[in-house]
Amino acid sequence: MKDTASLSLTLDKLLIKRARVAAAKIGAPLNTVVSQQLQAFLDSFEQSEALGNQNFTILAEFSIGVRSANDAMKALSIRSPAELNRLLAVAKLPKPTVSEYEISRMVEALKTLSSGSET
């Protein structure tokens, strides 16, 4: 039996609900699904590091929103967003999404800009 430990995460309620439903539909405990996906991510990350290749790290940073598309493309020496998306797919990483918090910040910034231009 594997040596296991409990982990507490804070995730979006809808994400948890969707994940439980998907896991149930394939007849697997959510813990198993999450564990396997995390293992796959770590295997790719560690293999990339062992080879001295930073491409996976760059793509992972872009995927989670730590690195901009332009910065990722420059670091990977590619010119098109389509190629960046293809590399994400090959690396089995999700395309980045803008968080609700970031959307709210952008809306507030736009409101501030538009109220300043009405003078």
86 and 114 in a single domain? The answer is: yes
Give the range of the structural domain holding residue 83, as residue numbers without chain letter: 54-119
59 and 96 in a single domain? The answer is: yes
Give me the percent of the chain exceeding a pLDDT of 90.
Answer: 70
Report residue 116's pLDDT band, with 50, 70 and 90 as the boundaries: confident
Could you give the number of structural domains in the chain?
2
- pTM for the model stands at 0.72
pLDDT, tens only, 58-71: 999 999 988 889 99
71 and 119 in a single domain? The answer is: yes
Tell whether the torsion through CA atoms of 66, 69, 70 and 72 is positive or negative: positive
pLDDT, tens only, 53-110: 999 999 999 999 888 899 999 999 999 999 999 999 999 999 987 767 778 888 999 9
Of 5, 32, 53, which residue constitutes the final position of a domain?
53
69 and 48 in a single domain? The answer is: no
Domain assignment of residue 76, yes or no: yes
Res 117: pLDDT: 63
Q: Which residues contact 44 (CB under 8 A, 6 or more apart)?
A: 56, 91, 92
Exposed / middle / buried, residue 84 (Cβ in 10 Å: 0-12, 13-18, 19+): buried
69 and 97 in a single domain? The answer is: yes
Q: For 113, list phi and psi in degrees, rounded to 5.
A: -65, -45
Domain assignment of residue 7, yes or no: no
